[in-house]
Amino acid sequence: MTTWKFKNCPRCTGDMFIERDVDGLIERCLLCGYSRDISKPKNIVSTASGTKR
């Protein structure tokens, strides 16, 4: 199964897809070939601590 992220490329705003690698998950752009590792999330949003908006 392929997960698509349309117009999400930071370089060319092209369509990206999620690729499963041995290291984890890689986000790859179909148009320019840009790829980045997304298997290690840097921004973990905690919603369980009771912070509400």
> Residues in the site for Zn ion, rule: CB under 5 A?
9, 11-12, 14, 29, 31-32, 34
Residues 15, 6 contacting (CB under 8 angstroms):
yes
Q: Which of 36, 41, 44 is nearest to 8 (CA)?
A: 36
Coil vs helix vs strand at 52:
coil
Instruction: Give the nearer residue to Zn ion in terms of CB position, either 9 or 27.
Output: 9
Closest CB 34 distance from Zn ion, rounded Å: 4
Instruction: Give the nearer residue to Zn ion in terms of CB position, either 25 or 35.
Output: 35
- 25, two tokens: 């998950």
Instruction: Give the nearer residue to Zn ion in terms of CB position, either 14 or 17.
Output: 14
